[in-house]
Every structure is written in structure tokens, then in C-alpha cells.
């Protein structure tokens, strides 16, 4: 959380930048394509998954061949590192040709950068492929309750699911209470990634949403007046769950990839994921046994979109927009949804596609462990990003492994 604290400190003293008159206009796409040719886009994106890295490499090959844009994947372990870099450049007066051209970003990091004018835009809804996006049926115009307003472009949909090995767990566990009961009866067979890992903090938020009688309180920013009372059920739950976790909660896997490895190694029977097709993808890649399946909770699970945003001081804004647009294309979206590639949910509206493009999706075999969309149940809203930051810091104080 040191990165987030530094980011917050720097943001407090940052003046809002003014968009340069020379910035490319996303509404003039021919001019964008002309300017983008020959540019290199440094995309700062999570680098903890071989399948994600391979998809980004494929996207880079496509935009280089089609548009003459070179993509360099800067692999991150923490998105806040990229945020801190942009903030540091702003403090140093480096308002042009910054080191970062695009960020895979969500939640608190997006809210901070948007509120302080550190993002280029609006651009997303002027991109040619925006016309295919399901802007009404999917959560693509808000990010953790924060209005997007065109300052980031969606490229994947996610929803919390739980992966479980049917060889060891007879049936899905429908609630937080059922997970706790099972964990106590099978100590050491479940865990979650260590916060501030995004998936780890998502598990904490999911349990809080599940435990609250009225989770709508989480839609507003956290306050000192209500934080303790609202989060009390979560900490009470963790007090019971932690001793039953893998290695008694004395250590945690660093990310979701390590969770999958632990299931494959026979150390865990269950893990949390933010991708409904993650288990099928892992099975297809021989990273999980084919007895693994997924389930959601009866009250529903948290869902959101993944976005890309462009820093205000990128020197390759045109190239970054070309990449963002390609990621929303039917071709890229269908490739990303293939469980043999990524297994990510699409942001597109199937009714808006041509017959040929719709056929790309119809031809996909989503995999034996992927729940059909109708069985994913209710999508619970993400809490305001301030809750994630506060809960992750609190968790570190209570349970963090030093």
C-alpha cells in the first residue's frame, strides 16, 4: 500500500494539467491513424499471467501489421507503480512524451488520476469500435461507481467466481457461511491472494458485500464515521476463517496464478477468480485437472469491466487510441473470450455485430468449467474505490505477512 499512499500524497498537491492543442482528435480517425503510424506504445499492464502476456503480444503483432504501431508490454505487478510514475513525471514538469502511453487500470487508481486531470480524453466513445460496445447492458460507463466519461476504454468483462475441484468438493458452496463451514471442516484447503493484490482485495470486498444486509452503503465513499460499523462483519468473518486457511493464514499466494498452481499441485481444493472462464482456460492449458468447475454465490457476485486509459503526457496518444480501439474490435474480443486464449467476457453487444462477427462468438467452445451466462446469477456492484483502499490497508495491519 506504500505506492497508493505515495500516489495519494502526490495527487493532493498536483495541479490539473491542460490538454495540449496538438493532441490527436479521436473523432478524426483518419488523422489518428496517420499520426499513429510509426509510434511505439508502452502499455503498462499486469504481467503475472502467461496467457495474458501472450494475448498482449498477439495484439501487438496485429496493430503493427495493420497500422504500423509498435506495442511494448511493460509488465506490472501493481498498477499503482504506473500511477506513481505518471505523478512523478507531473511533479518534475514532464508534461510531454512521458514513459507510459497506456495503463490497464481500474478502481481507485482510475478515480485518482481522473479526479486530478492526469488522463487524456475523453476519447473512448469516439473510437470506431465503440459502436459495438454494450453500453447499456454492461458496466462500461462507470468504474467502481466512478463515471468513466470517456477517459478509459473497456476491453473485458469480469465477474467473481469460485473454482473448485469436484474430486474433493461434492457440490458448490452457496454463501460466505457455507465457505466458512467447509473451510473449517477441511483446514488448509482454501486461501486467497495476499492484498493489495487486486484479486485478494476483491475477495475481501466480495465477502463484505455478501455479509451485509444492505450493501448499497458501499456505493458512497468510505467515511471515518461508518467504516468500523460497516466492515465489522468482514473482520469477524476473517477471524474465524483465517486459522482454517492454507498454512493457517501465516502466508498467502501472491496472485491468482499461484492459486491455480496450488490447486494443480493438490494443495488447495478451491480458489477465487475474477474470470468466469479462468478454470476452463487453465484446464485447456493443462494447468488444472479437468475435474475443476466453477460456482457463484446465491446472492450474486461482484462484476466489473477492465479498462485501458491514456496518461495526459503520453507521447503516443494516437497509437494508444489505435490499440484501445483494436481491443474493442469483434476480432480481438472473440479471441480474448476463447478459453484457449484468455476466457475473458466480452464488452460487446452481440445484436450490434454483423452475422460474420457474431459467428466468431457462436463458434467458441467456452469450456467444461465455464458457467453459461444465464447461470452466472446476479452481478453485484463494485463498492466505491475508497473502500478497497481502506480495507486493504486495514487487512495489512491485521493479517499482513511481514
Nearest-Å Rg of the Cα atoms of the chain is 21
Structural domains of the chain, with CATH: 2-154+306-366 (3.40.190.10), 159-303+380-397 (3.40.190.10)
User: What is the biggest distance separating any 2 CA atoms in the chain, rounded to whole angstroms?
Assistant: 63
Question: pTM for the whole thing?
Answer: 0.77
Q: Taking 60 as the threshold, does the pLDDT of residue 18 lie above it?
A: no
Q: Taking 70 as the threshold, does the pLDDT of residue 8 lie above it?
A: no
Q: What are phi and psi of 272, to 5 degrees?
A: -100, 150
Termini Cα distance of the chain: 13
Give the model confidence (pLDDT) of 35-64 as tens digits. 999 999 999 999 988 989 999 999 999 999
Strand, helix or coil for residue 349? coil
Q: Could you list the beta-strand ranges (E) of 77-152.
A: 102-105, 142-143, 146-147
Q: Residue 155's Cα: distance from chain center in Å?
A: 10
10 Å CB burial of residue 30 (0-12, 13-18, 19+) is: exposed
Q: ω before 122 within 30° of 0 (cis)?
A: yes
* Residues recorded for the chain: 402
User: What residues have CB less than 8 Å from 262, skipping those under 6 apart?
Assistant: 191, 246, 253, 268, 271
Give the model confidence (pLDDT) of 247-260 as tens digits. 999 999 999 999 99
Contact 183, 189 (CB under 8 A): yes
* Residue of 200, 274, 270, 266 lying closest to 238 (CA atoms): 200
Q: What are phi and psi of 311, to 5 degrees?
A: -60, 150
Contact 162, 175 (CB under 8 A): no
> If you average pLDDT over residues 200-205, what whole number do you get?
96
Amino acid at each position: 500500500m506504500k505506492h497508493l499512499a505515495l500516489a495519494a500524497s502526490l495527487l493532493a498537491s498536483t495541479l490539473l494539467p491542460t490538454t495540449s492543442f496538438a493532441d490527436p482528435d479521436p473523432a478524426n480517425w483518419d488523422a489518428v491513424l496517420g499520426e499513429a503510424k510509426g509510434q511505439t506504445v508502452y502499455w503498462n499492464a499486469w504481467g503475472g499471467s502467461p496467457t495474458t502476456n501472450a494475448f498482449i503480444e498477439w495484439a501487438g503483432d496485429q496493430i503493427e501489421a495493420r497500422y504500423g504501431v509498435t506495442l511494448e508490454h511493460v509488465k506490472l505487478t501493481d498498477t499503482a507503480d504506473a500511477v506513481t510514475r505518471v505523478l512523478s513525471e507531473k511533479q518534475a514538469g514532464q508534461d510531454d512524451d512521458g514513459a507510459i502511453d497506456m495503463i490497464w487500470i481500474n478502481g481507485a487508481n482510475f478515480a485518482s488520476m481522473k479526479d486530478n486531470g492526469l488522463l487524456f480524453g475523453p476519447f473512448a466513445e469516439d473510437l470506431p469500435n465503440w459502436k459495438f460496445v454494450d453500453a447499456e447492458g454492461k458496466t462500461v460507463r462507470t468504474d467502481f461507481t466512478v463515471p468513466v466519461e470517456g477517459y478509459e476504454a473497456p476491453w473485458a468483462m469480469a465477474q467473481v467466481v469460485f473454482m473448485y475441484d469436484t474430486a474433493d468438493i461434492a457440490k458448490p458452496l452457496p454463501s460466505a457461511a457455507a465457505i466458512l463451514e467447509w473451510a473449517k471442516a477441511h483446514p488448509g484447503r482454501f486461501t486467497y491472494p495476499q492484498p493489495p493484490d487486486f484479486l485478494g482485495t476483491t475477495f475481501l470486498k466480495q465477502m463484505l458485500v455478501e455479509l451485509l444486509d444492505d450493501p448499497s452503503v458501499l456505493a458512497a465513499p468510505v467515511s471515518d464515521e461508518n467504516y468500523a460499523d460497516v466492515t465489522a462483519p468482514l473482520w469477524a468473518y476473517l477471524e474465524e476463517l483465517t486459522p482454517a486457511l492454507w498454512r493457517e493464514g501465516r502466508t498467502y499466494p501472491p496472485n491468482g496464478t499461484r492459486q491455480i498452481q496450488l490447486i494443480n499441485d493438490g494443495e488447495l481444493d478451491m480458489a477465487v477468480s475474477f474470470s468466469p472462464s479462468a478454470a476452463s482456460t487453465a484446464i485447456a492449458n493443462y494447468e488444472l485437472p479437468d475435474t475443476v468447475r466453477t460456482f457463484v454465490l446465491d446472492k450474486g457476485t461482484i462484476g466489473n469491466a477492465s479498462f485501458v486509459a491514456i496518461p495526459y503526457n503520453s507521447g503516443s496518444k494516437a497509437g494508444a487510441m489505435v490499440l484501445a480501439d483494436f481491443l474493442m474490435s469483434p476480432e480481438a474480443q472473440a479471441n480474448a473470450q476463447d478459453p484457449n486464449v484468455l476466457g475473458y467476457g466480452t464488452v460487446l453487444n452481440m445484436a450490434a455485430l454483423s452475422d460474420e462477427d457474431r459467428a466468431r462468438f457462436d463458434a467458441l467452445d467456452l469450456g467444461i468449467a465455464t458457467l453459461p451466462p444465464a447461470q452466472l446469477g446476479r452481478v453485484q456492484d463494485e463498492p466505491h474505490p475508497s473502500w478497497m483502499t481502506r480495507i486493504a490497508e486495514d487487512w495489512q495491519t491485521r493479517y499482513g505477512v511481514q
